[in-house]
Chain A
């Protein structure tokens, strides 16, 4: 009796396994797409779902959308790469793309299938590469510029600064009018993108993060030391609040958006935040002030990549092409995300020559991407760690002329050690 029951159960299980595997093979017309919250959910999700419906009507492929927060995305993606499950096509930050490519978990992309090299903004295209091959397609771009509070500037009788020196002069007057810490808001030890903020200053000082061949750290040279001292001095001189030492980027942004602080380095995505939290704010945007060696900014944004283990790579690529179509890109950047398109053709839309967008467009033309390395994550962590130590020394009252140099040298040693692993 018992035996019969057992065989019965076994039979049922076998049947189920067969059925599900059959169903799986017949379901090749479904792909899973992970996107980050690039716009508020209330507008973002309906838009992508509507596009997914259009895509399904055209191709018969169903797209399952999942919004994955930036805070968990790194984890989810590494898990997907290890297991080869869960997603077919997804968004990655530009600085993540080479690292995930190095894991061997991303599908190589034939860029000609997506309009060729010249169709994309150079820095963004570079961010999709690893060892000269492409592992993603640029989706949208962003860069950092200087936001300023027009009313506060008027009251203090100052013009937007064009150079680092001018920024100090302007800050001096702003502080005289509005009090200590009111000139500029900065991200501090809790910022995950501390490096982005500093590298803008570094490049404008003629510095570089790594040597040209990407084999050695270079940020600890004179330009690097000067750039970091300039950054820390914004706090030491009282232009930025001392509390900035513990800020994360949203806290710095909020100080500006609330109208308490006159300047902040921010990105186009912050415009949505201003519209939502303080629509009355009278602000404008100028290019990041130039350093002794000229203008510079950070190139960021997101790319779309395909999981190598995906069973629906063809459909996944079709979905990328669909999202990158001219009208879809204009709509997505203009109305939803307030990011910038990463496609040259889309950038020609007259909208990007209007108002603050012109500033971002100009800035993007000379902004720089990080070197596409597998160990980039290590490098970013190391430099940020030591930058945080510099800020901690400031907080502890042990900061002196040698502090920055000491920590940048320590960071350089560690970065050189990490670079040895780069194959």
Chain B
């Protein structure tokens, strides 16, 4: 017992991870490779039953999805634009709210643990539940948003939130609500990693609370901030649940890449085009992940100061 050589131990370790690797292989890697292959085929309703013999079109699908001449191209580009706008608003807003609350929670007060638990509520609510509730909240006739806006006299008649230009606003509000607690959680952990001596030293040097925040807190939060932002960018780029649940399967101009791919591939049976779009989405996300890994490696901690 316990006298296994290092090589043998390592060998045994491989056996232990084998089941997981096999699962990954069949659930992730093989389908991804198949998907990439399908993106080179003209696979649609006519070739579905004999899909292995669908005509090979090379990069034809990729040209179509980025060409403004085709409806599919226009819509795909539009969906990318939408998801970028969505991310550019959701991420900073979520970050600021998360940071403000994290700063508050970093102080000592009675019931702090309870409040810390409570703020996680939106984060731990399943997407399907949370966004369905938001869908009701935004409904024109019975929704709470219109009810209160009318009561406050801000609008004269009920607004329609889930169709047209306001649809994206509705999704952003719901997503910020759902997303900020995660930012808060991570930033709070970051705050607690900042040694109190640094603040004491700053105070002795005569730093005002604002200076303490900008000179000590913010720089030391930089590593967690980077991680947080990167994760948020990745998650936002393939946002699906919030759009699909709030706006339905075909939300017109409020399509994001994931919902549009779903519609093209699975509802309209354009598997070739859908796969091409999915491959592009995956490449973007892989690049983002590569950047994220770089960030993580090159992380800064207070010891480097």
Contact = CB atoms under 8 A, between A and B. Distances in A.
A243 B158 contact: yes
Nearest to B141: A243
Contacts of A245: 140, 160, 163
Contact of B141 (A75, A241, A375): A241
A388 B46 CA distance: 28
Nearest to A255: B141
B48 A381 contact: no
B267 A374 contact: no
A270 to B, nearest CB: 20
B286 to A, nearest CB: 27
A222 to B, nearest CB: 24
Interface string B32-56: 0000000000001111111100000
Given A381-B263, A395-B164, A396-B164, A421 B269 contact: no
B162 interface: yes
Contact of A243 (B47, B160, B252): B160
Interface stretch (A99-107, A150-158, A275-283, A290-298): A99-107
B10 interface: no
A160 interface: no
B44 A381 contact: no
A393 B50 CA distance: 42
B304 to A, nearest CB: 52
A242 B49 contact: no
Given A245-B160, A395-B160, A104 B165 contact: no
Given A82-B49, A377-B269, A393 B164 contact: yes
B248 A248 contact: yes
Q: Is the interface of B mostly helix, strand, loop or mixed?
A: loop
Interface residues of B, number: 32
A378 B71 contact: no
Interface residues of A, number: 41
A423 interface: yes
Given A241-B141, A246-B139, A385-B250, A392 B163 contact: yes
B35 to A, nearest CB: 13
B200 interface: no
A374 B45 contact: yes
A104 B252 contact: no
B148 interface: no
Interface in B209-236: none
Contacts of B252: 189, 385, 388-389, 392
Contacts of A423: 46
Contact of B51 (A82, A246, A382): A82
Nearest to A248: B248
Contact of B164 (A105, A384, A385, A392): A392
Given A103-B45, A248-B248, A392 B253 contact: yes
Interface string A219-255: 0000000000000000000000111011010000000
17 contacts: A74-B266, A74-B267, A78-B48, A99-B45, A103-B45, A104-B46, A105-B49, A189-B163, A190-B162, A242-B158, A245-B160, A246-B162, A308-B49, A374-B45, A381-B267, A392-B163, A395-B160
Interface of A: 74-75, 78, 81-82, 84, 99, 102-105, 188-190, 192, 241-243, 245-246, 248, 308, 374-375, 377-378, 381-382, 384-385, 388-389, 391-393, 395-396, 414, 417, 421, 423
Given A105-B49, A246-B161, 7 more contacts: A102-B46, A104-B48, A104-B49, A189-B248, A245-B163, A381-B267, A421-B44
